[in-house]
Amino acid sequence: MKPGFEVVIGLEIHVQLLTRSKMFCACRNVYGAAPNAHTCPVCLGLPGALPVLNKEAVRMALSLGLALGARIQTKSVFYRKQYFYPDLPKGYQITQGPVAVVEEGSVTIAGDPEVRGNAAPIAIRIERAHLEEDAGKSNHERSDTATYVDLNRAGVPLLEIVGGPDLRSANEAYDYLKALHRLVTFLGICDGNMEEGSFRCDANVSVRRTGAAAFGTRVEVKNLNSFRHVKMAIEHEAARHIVLLEKGESFTQETRGWDADTGETKSQRTKEAAMDYRFFPEPDLPALTITQDEIETVRRALPELPEARRNRFIREYGLTDYEAGMLLQSRGFATYFEAVAKAANGKQAANWMLGEVSRALNETGREIETLGLDAAQLAELIQLVEAKTINLNTAKEAVFPRLLRGEGTPRQIAEKQGLAQVSDRDTIETLVQEVIRAHPEQLAQVKAGNEKLKGFFVGQVMKAGKGKVNPQLVNEILEATFDH
Ligand code: ADP
Ligand code: ZN
Ligand code: MG
């Protein structure tokens, strides 16, 4: 950020809820079906059809509210937000009014040291999270003369999470978005798929001169469908504002669209052109009332939250903050790690997950669930190393790739390939003697005090033993030989 300026960001996140059916009808809530396969009179907006509220969506909203430490409003009312668009069959969207079911929560992130001076944890306010329904999708590509409309998404439950204007850099916005993404996926209320639009984000961005009390004019940037683009769009927008502010140009509040191809934002509509949504309470739905009992039931069913899990990983398995954070990259990854850690050594399990397993995931572009590697087998591999049956290098380079290819259990692979670690003293002594005899000059140097050359001998013996000899024994026997 240019000195003398401060950027202020507030995110609005739309979370598609993983309910079985839609928000106000019994149609299935699934992605990728044939166009309009999941529609009915309610989500098509046919006259006379009546909406019925999905209780599962309410339960999911409550679980997010409780996870955010928010206030649950025991009475909130649905409203009609009216506008005309081809993919909005009713001519209005049902959303919540001035009172949202979830209000005043917060999410803690590490502050950005570049703008705050240190990385101390900072609470980012959540103003509200309200329930609403999604619109359908227009397809403009299919024809030059017509727009095709798919209403499978019309009426899919959404939770809109409105964050306070508390973020001060693109990095903080990124961390905040990651934290919420992790929260909703760990809670199991959203699949978090940004490409399919299940987790979407609009960024409100303004810039002010450092020390100014009032916020600058904000723009709302839409169409951000990856974490990277959120960051890029905020950086681009902040830089654009600074240029305007330095030129002394005034500009107005507006909505802009992010163009991922050009890496720029383009004006969509200005505040003057803002729509009048003619909000009014939805007459076909009763107010949403929540009882204390319902709140307690959801509270009891809450899974362990990511932050708690991270602290437990550090405590129980002796991991660093960084390792624990990396293991929480997804709920599946964290759960898999725990399965391995319980059956083998926790620290080793973390090393494998963040080393070989992550590399395999990157190389194949898969998720841990589809890698085809059983947690029990990875645990067995770690145990074979711990028991010194095979050495770590052999495990990584010879057994693990075969395990991934499904060539058997770690034990079977080690046996079949003759990979068992050699811990036989006589065999290693013989190798050591051979290597020493072959390198008299280096030996003289070691004896003269060249400590560094010892590593050379270790390497030579390991090589002579085809990488299978026990490295600790090699060291021990070499040392004894040097001392002679
Ligand atoms: P609206 O009434 O248009 O919905 P809100 O005041 O509710 O506007 O804010 C919507 C979003 O914009 C929130 O996420 C909020 O944090 C953010 N926001 C509000 N003012 C600013 C600002 N000056 N700069 C950046 N973000 C802002
Ligand atoms: Zn329907
Ligand atoms: Mg608002």
pLDDT at 114: 93
The CA distance from 302 to 99, in Å, is 24
Residue 396 has pLDDT above 90, yes or no: yes
Which ligand approaches the C-alpha of residue 271 most closely?
A: 1
Q: What is the pLDDT of residues 99-121, one digit of tens each?
A: 999 999 999 999 999 999 888 99
Q: What are phi and psi of 376, to 5 degrees?
A: -65, -35
Q: How far apart are CA 371 and CA 367, in angstroms?
A: 6
Q: Averaged over 124-130, what is the pLDDT? A: 98
Residue 201's CB is within 10 A of a number of other CB atoms, namely 27
Q: Which atom of ligand 1 is nearest to the CA of 206?
A: 24
Helix or strand or coil: residue 314? helix
Q: Which two tokens stand for residue 266?
A: 């383009």
For ligand 1, whether the C-beta of 215 sits within 6 Å is yes
Cα–Cα distance list, 174 to 9, 77, 235 (Å): 11, 32, 11
* 332-350 pLDDT, tens digit each: 999 999 999 999 999 999 9
Binding site membership of 255 for ligand 1 (Cβ less than 6 Å): no
Task: Give the architecture-level CATH label for domain 425-483.
Answer: Orthogonal Bundle (1.10)
Q: Rounded mean pLDDT of the chain? A: 93
Per-domain residue ranges of the chain:
5-293, 306-416, 425-483
pLDDT score at 158 = 98
Query: Is the C-beta atom of 206 inside 6 A of ligand 1?
Result: yes
Arithmetic mean of pLDDT, 75-82: 97
User: With a 6 A CB cut-off, is 124 part of the ligand 1 pocket?
Assistant: no
Q: 64 CA distance to ligand 2 centroid (A)? A: 25
pLDDT computed for residue 464 by the predictor: 85
Which residue minimizes the CA distance to atom 24 of ligand 1?
A: 206
The answer to whether the CB of 162 is under 6 A from ligand 1 is yes
In this prediction, residues 418-447 reach a mean pLDDT of 86
Count CB neighbours of 188 within 10 A. Answer: 12
Ligand nearest to the Cα of 50, by number:
2
Element (H, E) at 483: helix 471-483
Say if ligand 1 is within 6 A of residue 165 CB.
yes
Tell me the pLDDT tens digit for each residue of 185-212: 999 999 999 999 999 999 999 999 999 9
Pocket test for ligand 1, best of 96, 107, 177, 218 (most atoms within 8 A of CB): 218
Q: Which atom of ligand 1 is nearest to the CA of 215?
A: 23
CB of residue 164 inside a 6 A radius of ligand 1:
yes
Closest CA to 107 of 175, 206, 37, 58: 175
Q: Does the C-beta of 67 come closer than 6 Å to ligand 1? A: no
Predicted pLDDT of residue 421: 74
Cα-to-centroid distance, 201 and ligand 3 (Å): 15
Cα(161) to centroid(ligand 1), Å: 12
**DSSP of 369-416, one letter per residue?**
GGS---HHHHHHHHHHHHTTSS-HHHIIIIIHHHHHTT---HHHHHHH
**Whole-model pTM?**
0.86
Which of the listed residues 8, 12, 13, 204 should we mutate to test ligand 1's pocket, taking the one with most ligand atoms within 8 A of CB? 204
CB of 218 sitting under 6 A from ligand 1 = yes
pLDDT at residue 171 tops 80: yes
Q: Determine whether the shortest distance from the Cβ of 163 to ligand 1 is under 6 A.
A: yes
The more confidently predicted of residues 358 and 418 is 358
**Three-state DSSP state, 221:** strand
* CB 460 less than 6 A from any atom of ligand 1: no
Q: Is the CB of 171 under 6 A from ligand 1?
A: no
Ligand 3 centroid vs 268 CA: distance in angstroms?
19
Give nearest CA residue, ligand 1 atom 11: 10
pLDDT-wise least confident of 52-61, 159-168, 262-271: 262-271
CB 419 within 8 A of CB 394: yes
- Expressed in angstroms and rounded, the spacing between residue 91 Cα and the centre of ligand 3 is 21
**pLDDT at 415 > cutoff 90:** no
Q: Which of 211, 232, 289 is nearest to 55 (CA)?
A: 289
